[in-house]
Amino acid sequence: MDPGKFLLFATGGLADAAYLFIVAAGLSLVFGALRVINMAHGSLYMIAALVSVVVANRLGAGIGFLPSLIAAVIVAAAIGAVIEVTVLKRVYGHEHLVQLLATYAIALIIGGAARLIFGPNYRTTTAPIQGSLTLLGYSYSVYALVMIVAAALIGVGMYAMLLRTRLGRNIRAAVSDPELLNASGVNVTFLYTTVFVIGAGLAGLGGVIVAPSQAVDPTIGDSVLVLAFAISVIGGLGSIIGSAVGALMVGEVISFGLITPATNSFALAFVFIVMTLVLTVRPWGLFGRAET
């Protein structure tokens, strides 16, 4: 494969990895701190994507993107807050099956509500940044490159927040030793709500970023949820670096896998084979920590 082609497919994989990382990071953060597997995470992604498309189209493509991003992330975060306060607080500490069922029910409710409010049809919007650039003889979408850069910045920002801020320290404490955190005087109730809102906001951010490059309808959250789970499991639930590495692996496996004749049929399946291998060898993921 010539260097131009390699760069082309590698960049395609990075574009895939970009939005998947943002979504998976939110899912992973919530599980790491709250020990909740949030089946409604994809629904928050979907709602934000729909809201952003509606707002962007109403205000006009280009200038409408930033307001649409803010509006959509606020909506996703607000719904997240409502879910956490009204439902999740009642199921913390219960076995995972109860949490799974509760969040799955929420996903169904949000999906039904989205169909009623937005209708079942696909919606599309225009990317805020148009144009392409040519490298080694091949064209690249500037918006896809912006997605990659945005995901990297979000990753760095989240890492800095976790390492350098009081909130981050508390979240890390919640991930590694929730009992000790409880005993240390931290308002754990508020911390949990905050973490869930951040997770919901990240799901929303993923939805907003991907919306200009794909058809948006009330079902788009389903497939992204599956991939986000795979990424979180591969990288390690609770680890931002793990989410980044997991997303990178999944994105590149899909990009190179789909175009290689021998692996074309198995590219998506290979993601889950990797996940199964990781679960077998290192059940807590590549960058996760084993629960004691």
Partner 1 sequence: MSRGFGFHRWMAAAGAGLMVLAACGGTSSSGGSVTFKGTKNIGLSIALTGQSALYGHAISQSMKLAADDINAKGGVNGYKVNADILDDATQVANAVNNIKSLILQDNVVAMLGNVTSAQCQATSPVAKQNKTLFIAATCNSYQLTTEPDLVNPYYISIVPNTFMEGTAAGQLAAKTGAQKIFIVSPKYLFGISETNAFVAELQKVAPNATIINNPSTWYVPFPTNPRWDSTINAIQAAKPDLVYSNIFAADEVNFITQALQVDPNFFQKYPMTTLASVDELNALGAKYPLGMHLYQRAPFFALSNPAMNAFVTHYHSVYGEYPSDWAVMDYDAMMMYAKAANAAGSFDPDKVRAQIVGHSFDSLRGYKFTIRAGDQQANVGETVGTTGDSGGKYPFPILVNSTNLKGDDILMPAVIMQQLQAGQCEKTPGTASTTDFSACPAWKTS
CB of 15 to partner 1, least distance (A): 6
Distance, in Å, from the CA atom of 197 to the CA atom of 203, rounded to the nearest integer, reads 10
Residue 120: closest CA among 56, 50, 213, 52:
50
**Interface with partner 1 in residues 218-257 (CB under 8 A):** 218-220, 222-224, 254-256
Binding segment for partner 1 (CB under 8 A), chosen from 28-36, 78-86, 118-126, 179-187, is 118-126
Of the candidates 194, 148, 151, 153, the one whose C-alpha atom is nearest the C-alpha of residue 171 is 194
- Told to check if 64 binds partner 1 by CB under 8 A, we report no
Least separation in angstroms between CB 84 and partner 1: 26
Of 22, 46, 144, 173, the one binding partner 1 by CB under 8 A: 144
Contact 200/42 with Cβ under 8 angstroms?
no
Q: Are 51 and 75 in contact (CB under 8 A)?
A: yes
Binding to partner 1 by CB under 8 A, coded x per residue (else -) over 179-218, reads -------------------------------x-xxxx-xx
Shortest Å, Cβ 47 to partner 1: 15
Residue 28, interface with partner 1 (CB under 8 A)? no
| Residue 121 engages partner 1 in binding (rule: CB under 8 A) | yes
Task: State yes or no: residue 130 binds partner 1 (CB under 8 A).
Answer: yes
Q: Tell whether residue 86 is a contact of partner 1 (CB under 8 A).
A: no
Query: Pairing between strand 132-135 and 138-141?
Result: antiparallel
Please check whether residue 247 is in contact with residue 21, taking contact to mean a CB–CB distance below 8 angstroms: yes
DSSP H helix total and E strand total for the chain: 12, 2
